[in-house]
């Protein structure tokens, strides 16, 4: 990994690294916060944060204020980009909710996306391998978090890989993509337009990427999920997020403990995220520190 930026922050280091991804077949960047404790010999717990539509690795680094809480708890925090970069497929850069900046954390099966748009395998496989090879982390103590499209990514990563992440923390996630316009557009483009297949594939199949359906069938170790949702989020009212469907699925599965909090007056953006970031780091620290 090659550093493309290091800044001292809260006694630690906020870095951005780039590396050649064998899964995505391009150069990828990811943020890496090393807390003050990174100079000790003890292996540190790790948090992955997945961002939403249009984001790069920079949004979470610059807007969320997470570093204060990661430093306090002694957590390494890794946040990747939201899609492969450097390609120019037809239609890739034409809309904010598909293609570049909108990889949706799936492994595409359709042309021309299937060779490079493999963000699910990147986030759950290659990126942890890169991190464990280069930083002093305890991979057994991992948590995953995310916002909006990244909340969807965090949920499916946790639900499809039982035990890999000790807990899951999400802000306004796209909770039932098979049933919302954003998800239907992305799934049709990346996975093909057989909507029945999106819903009916078993939870651990390579084509099941809907958290509401995976939650119904999840059979792993007890999974703790904290979900915060702003009551004034326009995408909640537009039925893009559908957290109530996820909550219903989780309520019928004793292996999932979902704490679903509706936060009055908050919208979808980073003012909302930063307001509850401390809560989410305290929640994750309980499970991995």
Respond yes or no: is residue 268 known to be catalytic. yes
**Spatial separation of the C-alpha atoms in residues 273 and 259, rounded to whole Å:** 16
Q: Which of 81, 210, 228, 233 is catalytic?
A: 233
Respond yes or no: is residue 148 known to be catalytic. yes
Q: Which of 21, 148, 175, 178 is catalytic?
A: 148
Q: Which of 171, 166, 126 is nearest to 150 (CA)?
A: 171
Q: Quick one: three-class SS letters along 211-276?
A: HHHHHHHCCCCCEEEEEEEECCCHHHHCCCCCHHHHHHHHHCCCCEEEEEEEECCCCCCHHHHHHH
Respond yes or no: is residue 133 known to be catalytic. no
**Spatial separation of the C-alpha atoms in residues 49 and 151, rounded to whole Å:** 9
The CA-atom distances, in angstroms, between 106 and each of 117, 153, 199 are: 7, 8, 15
Largest alpha-carbon pair distance within the chain? 51
Q: Which of 105, 133, 137 is nearest to 121 (CA)?
A: 105
Q: Which of 73, 147, 268, 280 is catalytic?
A: 268
Dihedral angle, C-alpha 34, 150, 100, 188, nearest 10 ° = 150
Which positions are catalytic? Answer: 148, 233, 268
């Amino acid at each position: 990994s090659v550093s493309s930026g290091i800044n001292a922050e809260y006694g630690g280091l906020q870095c951005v690294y780039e590396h050649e991804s064998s899964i995505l077949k391009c150069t990828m960047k990811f943020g890496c916060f090393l807390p003050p404790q990174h100079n000790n010999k003890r292996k540190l717990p790790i948090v992955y944060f997945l961002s939403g539509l249009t984001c790069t690795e920079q949004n979470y680094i610059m807007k969320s204020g997470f570093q204060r809480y990661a430093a306090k708890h002694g957590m390494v925090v890794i946040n990747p980009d939201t899609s492969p970069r450097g390609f120019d497929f037809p239609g890739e850069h034409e809309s904010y909710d598909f293609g570049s900046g909108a990889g949706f954390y799936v492994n595409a099966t359709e042309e021309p996306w299937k060779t490079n748009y493999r963000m699910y395998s990147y986030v759950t496989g290659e990126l942890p391998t890169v991190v464990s090879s280069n930083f002093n982390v305890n991979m057994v103590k991992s948590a995953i978090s995310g916002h909006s499209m990244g909340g969807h990514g965090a949920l499916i990563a946790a639900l499809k890989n039982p035990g890999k992440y000790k807990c899951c923390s999400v802000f306004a996630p796209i909770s039932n993509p098979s049933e919302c316009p954003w998800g239907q557009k992305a799934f049709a483009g990346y996975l093909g337009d057989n909507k029945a297949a999106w819903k009916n594939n078993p939870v651990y199949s390579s084509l099941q990427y809907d958290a509401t359906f995976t939650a119904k069938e999840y059979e792993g170790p007890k999974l703790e999920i904290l979900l915060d949702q702003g009551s004034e989020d326009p995408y909640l009212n537009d039925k893009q997020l559908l957290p109530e469907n996820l909550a219903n699925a989780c309520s019928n599965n004793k292996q999932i403990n979902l704490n679903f909090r509706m936060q009055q007056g908050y919208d979808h953006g980073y003012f909302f995220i930063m307001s509850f970031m401390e809560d989410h780091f305290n929640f994750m620290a309980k499970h991995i520190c």
